Amino acid sequence: MLMFVRFLVLFFCLNVVVRFVRALWHTAMPATEPREAPRSGVSLVRDRVCNTFLPRERAIVASVNGHEEYFCCERCRSQAQAAASVAVPVTER
């Protein structure tokens, strides 16, 4: 039992040291340049897959079910097109 308690104390101490070193490392890293904010009057579009808003000129445009859709990345575009191909259209009786 005493050996288990020693192990827990050692584990706790190592965890504290690792967190401290990580905190020092992150403060020593140079700050990244902030992204350029969109200019006022820029038209934003929404990616319906991940609900990200982005400027229209940076969006990936694709036709999904005959409608023009905007996406932030190729992965979201692929997901939307895959979902559209799986969806079964509702027919009227």
Q: For the chain, which residues make up each domain, given as ranges? A: 44-86
Question: 22-49, pLDDT tens digit by residue?
Answer: 887 776 666 556 566 656 778 899 998 9
pLDDT at 47: 92
Helix/strand/coil percent split, the chain, to 5: 45, 20, 35
pLDDT at 13: 92
* Interval 58-63 mean pLDDT: 92
Q: Please choose, from the candidates 67, 87, 83, the residue with its C-alpha nearest in 3D space to the C-alpha of residue 75.
A: 83
Q: Residue 59, SS3? A: coil
pLDDT at 20: 86
| Buried residues in 69-92 as b, exposed as e (16+ CB within 10 A) | bbbbeeebbeebbeeeeeeeeeee
Average pLDDT, the chain: 82
Identify the band that residue 67 occupies on the pLDDT scale cut at 50, 70 and 90. confident
